[in-house]
Structures are given as structure tokens and as C-alpha cells.
Structure 1
């Protein structure tokens, strides 16, 4: 094959035209491709062979990526094929980045590959992306529906129930303002959460509206709303200036209502050294109560209190056991302070007692207050 026109002298065999047919990332391997093409009698057939080879390489990579000895090389092959525009490879790459052991990456990287796989037509990726878009305080239901319909059009069955859930959620969200206006506290709190969604750019007017809805719900005795309102006032947030004195009554109400979030927020407020409302002993009590209710924030605070001896004796072993559970449960404070984790790694001598205590606490979180109290009565336990 030979090109005519101006490019014929510079590209007599048509390498440029052939390379245009290759998917984007093969440009990273141009040296190898040029060798293949220069030796080929039929350039387009050589390119088609290379593209067809991707499926074989993908299956080999999927097999090998589960083998610890072959995992690293398989991951490199998977990345190469995904970069070549292979939709199924891009989807599997998104899963490996998010959940696997072979490829390091952030959630944003996993989301990037998931979107590419959906755009390139992988039905499983389209369904997975739709599920992701349906979550959150302000779900992107229209986009989620688009991906589900595309997956359905490609012949994938079983999306009817998911589409039905999506349409039900759309109806519920449309009805939410009316329910809030009618005085339903749970709807008022949910509407406030939407208006104050931290993943959205800050809009002062929306934040003010959200705070007003939280107050209306809290005034009706909604403990969860009182906790959110008190937390926002205690520590501030975009669009809300800190006002610890105004926060205290709402946090007290939340604690009386049994809110684990309120317990953790008040514990954090009372633990501030030198503050007007500082009360380290009460802060420790509240952190224990919140942690026993499986609050990630409560577990995090309790670990830091035990480590520093806030409100009681220092217990490093218990602190490290509790911090491990906080990492498992997650929460706002855990996400905000990833740098603190190395301080809570057990030393070789601590490893076994930390593991035993962690298992004891995890098996019976409700019994944690009594367990920690018994440890506090035993000087050797504090480490």
C-alpha cells in the first residue's frame, strides 16, 4: 500500500495512516509498532492483528492478576490494554485500583477508568457507574438513567429493578420540599443535608437555608438534626462561622436523644484545652458512649483521648486497638487525619495485646465502657 499526494515522499508505505487506526496508547509503543509495520506486507492487516491480540492479552492478565507471583506483570499488561482503549480492560482496571492488591491509586483514578470504560461501551461499567451516581445527598439520577438505558440497549438484562429504584428515588426527591414544608422533621433534615452537601461548591444562600431547616427539625426534637446543627455551629463549616456557645444547647439535646454523632461532637468540643466549656472527664465519657454506638468519629476521639490521657489515665494499648477499629468504621475525623495513623501502629511487644483487645472490643462494642473501666483499675494495663 502506498499513499499519494504530499505525504507520499515522507511516508511511502503509509505508516502514518496505519498508526491513526491504532488506539491512543499504542503511541507509547511506537518503536515496537514501527518494527512490526515495516516488516508487514499488509499494514492494515498488521494493525487489525494487533488490536485482536488485546483480547488474548486481557484474558491472560485477568488470570495472572490473581497470582501473587505474576500480579505485578499482569497489572502492567492490564494498564497497557486499558490505555489502548479496551473497555473491559478499563473496567477491570477501575476495580483493581479501587479494591485490588496489584495497582496503587486513589479513588479518583478508579473513577476515571470507570467513566472511560462506560463511555467506551462496557455494559458492566455502565451499570456500576449508574449505581455510583445514584448514591449521595444529591444523586445524578438523569445521568445514571442514561447509563442504565445504554447498558439495557446493549442487551444486558436485569436493569429493570434498578431503573425502578431510580425512578422511585426521583419521585421521593421531588416530593421532599413539600414534605419539609408540611412539618415532617426527617424530611426537613434530609433537605438540609442536600442544601449543605459538602461535595458541592459552597453557596452561602443554600447553606443558610440548610441551617434553617436543621433548626426547624431540631426544634421538633429530631436528635440527628440537633447533632448536625450543633456540630456545624461548634466547629464551623463553609458558610457557617464557629459559635461554640450557640452549639452547646443543640449538642446537649442530641446527646439526650441518643445521637452518636452528637455524643462525638460534644466530646470534641469539651476536650478543647482551656476553652470555656472544657471538661475532659465528660469528654472521655461521651467519646466512650459514641464509640460504643459504632461512631467512627467517636472511636477516633476515644483513641486520641486514651493515647493522650484526656479525662483519665493513659492507655496506649487500648488507644491503638480502638484506632484500628476507627480506621475500619471510617468517618469524617478519620478521613481528615490520615497522618495520625503511624502513631497508632503497635510495637512488636504491643502487637498481641492490641490484637486481643481489639477483638474483644469488636465482639462487644456495647460492653466497651465496662471493659475500659476494668483496664483503668489495673495499672499494668495502661502500658
Structure 2
């Protein structure tokens, strides 16, 4: 279900609307209640409740949060790269890939609640889909609570968008603002939004405990991208590539911090927690990270750093290419070389952000990284000292 109303709804209308949606699904899927419910909370730059015990925490590495609205990518995706990567569990994106929610629906219920329509492309296959630009973060949580009161989704994504929006607003602010190019400055609307989101997360956790659902829930708190200090998520800012990641649940190892985790592993890990087999499109991306579980040994835990490596390669490629473009103003040799970078007859082209839908042509993530490194080596050698 998708709402595009422009006027703010009253509490009464809100409850009536949600009750109708849930009543319909309750009637046809009541028997599909699962004893083990997974309720991930995916929201822009959310933080776990301060001074609260958590089971396992750390950071997730996300692919560069590029968000083109033109070109082939935009034909299939309405949001930035990390979102389809998260749902498809692979860097080899394709409209044919199955998303995590489609692993359960329609046999089991799933739900996605978010206060923006920007994520419609990753909403495919959810049993309950509510996207409303007019919702506050509190109304998103209200909606999620009402779903859990009357339905039994085995997987739910709750996305609080306001903090991310405030980060973008600051990136566009003028020098007269005290938080100009500093999201953590005094009176920063980003900090206010983060604190408000933290309160909503606490309210959601309190509901799970009061309702008796807490012990059968695995809660995942993360984000679809990091936040630059200047606001939003510029491609070359490495703060954009990393987001907090928290797992909480009875089956989760307590007090454990993993040294590295990739966004591609979230969908397979969710599937594994719910005893579903995850089929991925390539053999080197997206695995069930069992090291989050009790009774597992993390000695020697050294997962491959595919995303971190590719992000650094893309950053270097863009900077080197910019240098060639500047040099070409006075020397046509560099203009020719810059053109050859996109010529298949010269070399297997670099797999950069504008070619993300072609990444699967590399066959494996390892080969993609190898190709990129070859191109970078040539570029480094071509630059004058």
C-alpha cells in the first residue's frame, strides 16, 4: 500500500487507514505466524539507545551511496546504491535478482514502513508496504507498532528518514548558518533529528518488551549509508561508506564486536537467521555471517574486504580521471587517454559508479577488483611526475 497524500493526516484517519490495511492481511494470513520474528530497523544514521545493553555491534561497510536519477540505473532503482545492494545481497545488481522480502512473501508476511516514497524500487514483494512523505518518524513507529499488534510479519523494515533529510539540508545550507558544513555544530537540525530518532527507537523497543515480543525478535539497527560531516553522503567522503550496525536478540552473541561486515551480507544473514537458504547471483558476495551467533568462534575472523576495496578504487579512479581532464586543456594527449578509458578495445574498462549495472559482466568480485587495479596502475603511470 502506498500513500501519496499531501495533507497531514489526523490521528483518527491514520489509525483507520492502518486498521483497514492490517485487517485485510490479517484475514488471509493469520495462520502464517512465525515463532521467530525478525524485525530489522533500517533508517538513515540511526543510533542504538544510549546506556542500553546491546548484544553485538560494530560498523557495516556500504557501497558508495551514489544516487543517479538519469541513465540505466534510474530505470530500475529509485534510491541510492546501498539499498538494492542490501536487499539483493550482492554487488551485481539486476532487476532479475530476488530481494530478501521475496524470500518470504507471499507465504509469510513481510512489512516495510518509511516516511518517503524514494524507496519504492526496493519495496517490491512486501506484503505490507507503506510509504508516506507526510509521516513523521513518530508516525512511522506508530504504524509499525500497529502492524505488529495485528499482524505477524516474519521480516519488517522500519526506516526513519528525517535524520537523513536533515543531513541533506545542512549540505545545502548557507555560510550564515552555525551548522554550515558541520552537522554536529550547535543547534544542528541533524543532531536534533538523530536524538529524536533515538527516542523513537527506544519507544519501539519498549513496545516489543511490553507486548512480550522482545524475546522472539532479532533487532538490527543500521542505515543505508553514512553521513559526511559537511552533510549528506558525497562519494569521495569515506564517512559516507560506513554505518553503525547493531544486532540484538536471544540468539546473538553478547558483547561481541566484529572487525568487518559488508552490507551485502545483511540479506543472507537475515535469511540464515530465519532458516532460509539464500541464493546469490555470484559466489563471492553476500554470506550468512554466523559469527554474530552465540556459540560461534571468531578466532581468525578475517572476511574479504570487497566493498572497502572497491570504494577506494572508485575514489582514486575519479580523482585520477579529473586530473587527466584538467591536463587535457593544454595537452591533447591526455584528452585521448581519458577517452580510451571507456574504450573496450583499449582495455577492459574500469568498473566505476556509472557502470554499476555492468559490474556483473566481471563474473566475480575478485576479477572486478583485478580489472580496476590494472586500469589504476596504467593511469598512475601515465600521469606526469
The interval holding the TM-score normalised by the smaller chain is under 0.3
Larger RCO (CA within 8 A; separation ≥ 6): 2
TM-score normalised over the length of structure 2: 0.27
Q: Going by fraction, where is strand more abundant, 1 or 2?
A: 2
Q: Going by fraction, where is helix more abundant, 1 or 2?
A: 1
TM-score normalised over the length of structure 1: 0.27
